[in-house]
Amino acid sequence: MVEVNKMEMNIAVLSGKGGTGKTTVSTNLALALKANYIDCDVEEPNGFLFLKPEVDKTEKVMVEYPIIDKANCVSCSDCVNACQFNALAKVKDEILLFEKLCHGCGACEISCKYNAITYQKRQTGKIESGKVRNIDCSRGILNVYEPMAVPVIRQLLKNISGGVNLIDCPPGTSCSVVNALKYASAAILVTEPSEFGLHDLKMAVGVVKMYNIPFGIVINKDDEKDNIIKRYCREEKIKLLGTIPYSKNTAVLYSKGEILYDDPYHKALFDELSKEVKDVISWN
Amino acid sequence: MRIAISSTGKTTVDLLNTRFGRCEYFQIHDTESGEVKVIENKGQSAGGGAGILASNQIIDENIDVIITGNLGPNAFELIEKSDIKAYKCESIVISSVLEKYNKGELEEIQMSGPAYHGGGK
């Protein structure tokens, strides 16, 4: 049974191109909407640098990998051939595992006719959570040198609580973003008025459209002219939620790690943006 | 002796491809019989672990010597453990690669080059 007061609204903030302002928009919008902040950019989570919550809970992220029992293994190579991620190789009579490539799918265990494969777990990252200014904050951190962000993102978003959550996504449009979007009920695409920004925005729009969720665009570093992003929004009939003007003052506050929402000019800007967001992505 | 060369094409006038895991073909030259066998590198289109997939093919072909530009960390481990000797060469035509090898002008690869893999992202 669905409890009405626990209604969940997960808003994903993504961009395609990196460095357009996903974290700037998600942290400040979280404050304006009094929403929870979730940093899914687990390879470089930087939202906590601005919000500075006190971390009171940490949990490990574990992934599975195969252990080959040499007593039972006959080096038949069935597991090597079954692995779709090339994490296994046979050298002479030995099966070698490249654990960082392993997705823990279990195919090698199924393919083994000699019961030589079992699974163990290893840590690839962690989840941190805490509170600041009455909002819940959490983030995933992928260990340095680990290539797979998805298990960390999955564990982070699986435990999401009710209410309004702002999900600060990784850049790009690869597995990490696709997995974050699985939990989203709406999306905000942050971009900048450059050819590169538009190019990657189009890719991000393509991904978001697969989910049939409401979405809109925010232009950061806006030149306040009729630029290529505004034309794109008109042509594609995509809602422009708001703009953040290109200004030295914004950059100065950001570079000091300060919260833009504490500055009256930016507070008005993000309050306005939060109204637009509520309008397009209606809830309650 | 069976020599495998990472290459861009199927003939001896094609160039050596300095990328091991992502090269188009492996040309296998048998110095005793003079036979040449060309295999397509399955690693060129792998989502991740290209060097491992390419190494698996090389190992299955009972190769004694591999000539390429660089070996990544994973491929290097597999090639070394399989007692296959690896030699470094620049991108020149395959006939010249063989000539250089025969004259003993190629340098042995003693350590792995940088990792390029995205790890199956």
* CATH code of residue A97: 3.30.70.20
Give the H or E element holding residue B26: strand B25-30
Judge: B48–A174 Cβ closer than 8 Å, yes or no: no
| Distance in Å, alpha carbon of B84 to nearest chain A alpha carbon | 11
What mean pLDDT, rounded, does chain B reach?
92
pLDDT, tens only, A182-239: 999 999 999 999 999 999 999 999 999 999 999 999 999 999 999 999 999 999 999 9
Instruction: Report pLDDT for B32.
Output: 93
Report the distance separating Cα A276 and Cα A11, nearest Å. Answer: 13
| Distance in Å, alpha carbon of A142 to nearest chain B alpha carbon | 13
3-state secondary structure chain A: CCCHHHCEEEEEEECECCCCCHHHHHHHHHHHHCCEEEECCCCCCCHHHHHCCEEEEEEEEEEEEEEECCCCCCCCCHHHHHCCCCCEEEECCEEEECHHHCCCCCHHHHHCCCCCEEEEEEEEEEEEEEEECCEEEEEEEECCCCCCCHHHHHHHHHCCCCEEEEEECCCECCHHHHHHHCCCCEEEEEECCCHHHHHHHHHHHHHHHCCCCCEEEEEEEECCCCCHHHHHHHHHCCCEEEEEECCHHHHHHHHCCCCHHHCHHHHHHHHHHHHHHHHHCCCC
Instruction: Report pLDDT for A283.
Output: 56
Portion 140-159 of A in contact with B at CB < 8 A: 146-149
Instruction: Report pLDDT for A135.
Output: 95
Phi, psi angle pair for A248, to nearest 5° = -65, -35
Instruction: Report pLDDT for A2.
Output: 37
Sorted by where each begins, the domain ranges of chain B are 2-108
Instruction: Report pLDDT for B117.
Output: 53
Judge: B56–A89 Cβ closer than 8 Å, yes or no: yes
Asked whether residue A75 is domain-assigned, the answer is yes
B-chain residue closest to A98, CA distance: B74
Residues of A in contact with B121 (CB under 8 A): 147-149, 174-176
**Residue B9: C-alpha distances to residues A13, A122, B20, B90, B94 (Å):** 45, 42, 14, 15, 9
pLDDT, tens only, A40-90: 999 999 999 999 999 999 999 999 999 999 999 999 999 999 999 999 999
Judge: A96–B81 Cβ closer than 8 Å, yes or no: yes
Judge: A147–B49 Cβ closer than 8 Å, yes or no: no
| Chain B touched by A174 (CB under 8 Å) | yes
Question: B2-108 belongs to which homologous superfamily?
Answer: Dinitrogenase iron-molybdenum cofactor biosynthesis domain (3.30.420.130)
In this structure, the answer to whether residues A182 and A107 fall within a common structural domain is no
Residues of B in contact with A89 (CB under 8 A): 52, 55-56, 59, 78
Asked whether residue A100 is domain-assigned, the answer is yes
pLDDT, tens only, B13-62: 999 999 999 999 999 999 999 999 999 999 999 888 999 999 999 999 99
In this structure, the answer to whether residues A110 and A245 fall within a common structural domain is no
Residues of A in contact with B55 (CB under 8 A): 89
| pLDDT of A29 over the 90 cut | yes
pTM of the model: 0.85
Q: What is the mean pLDDT of residues A256-271?
A: 97
Instruction: Residue B103: count other Cβ atoms within 10 Å of its Cβ.
Output: 8
| pLDDT of A13 over the 60 cut | yes
Asked whether residue A123 is domain-assigned, the answer is no
Pick from B17-26, B43-52, B91-100, B111-120: least confident: B111-120
Judge: B81–A92 Cβ closer than 8 Å, yes or no: yes
Asked whether residue A122 is domain-assigned, the answer is no
> Predicted confidence band at A3 (pLDDT cuts at 50, 70, 90)?
very low
| pLDDT of B115 over the 80 cut | no
A-chain residue closest to B54, CA distance: A86
Number of domains in chain A: 2
| pLDDT of A96 over the 60 cut | yes
Q: What is the mean pLDDT of residues A251-263?
A: 96
Looking from the CA of B28 toward its CB, the CA atoms found within 13 Å total 16
Asked whether residue A16 is domain-assigned, the answer is yes
What mean pLDDT, rounded, does chain A reach?
94
Instruction: Residue A28: count other Cβ atoms within 10 Å of its Cβ.
Output: 28
In this structure, the answer to whether residues A144 and A220 fall within a common structural domain is yes
State the best of B41, B56, B82 to mutate against chain A, taking most chain A CBs within 10 Å.
Answer: B56
| N-terminal to C-terminal alpha carbon distance within chain B | 38
Instruction: Residue B101: count other Cβ atoms within 10 Å of its Cβ.
Output: 18
CB nearest to B120's CB, from A80, A92, A103: A103
Residues of A in contact with B50 (CB under 8 A): 86
| Chain A touched by B80 (CB under 8 Å) | no
| Chain A touched by B77 (CB under 8 Å) | yes
In this structure, the answer to whether residues A40 and A78 fall within a common structural domain is no
| Chain B touched by A42 (CB under 8 Å) | no
pLDDT, tens only, A127-170: 999 999 999 999 999 999 898 999 999 999 998 888 999 999 99
Judge: A86–B81 Cβ closer than 8 Å, yes or no: no
Q: What is the mean pLDDT of residues B64-92?
A: 96
Domain that holds residue A220: 4-61+128-280
Report the distance separating Cα A40 and Cα A43, nearest Å. Answer: 9
Q: Between chain A and chain B, how many beta carbons pairs sit less than 8 Å apart?
A: 58
The interface predicted TM-score of the complex, written ipTM, equals: 0.82
* CATH code of residue A210: 3.40.50.300
Portion 97-116 of A in contact with B at CB < 8 A: 98, 100-101, 103
Instruction: Report pLDDT for A49.
Output: 97
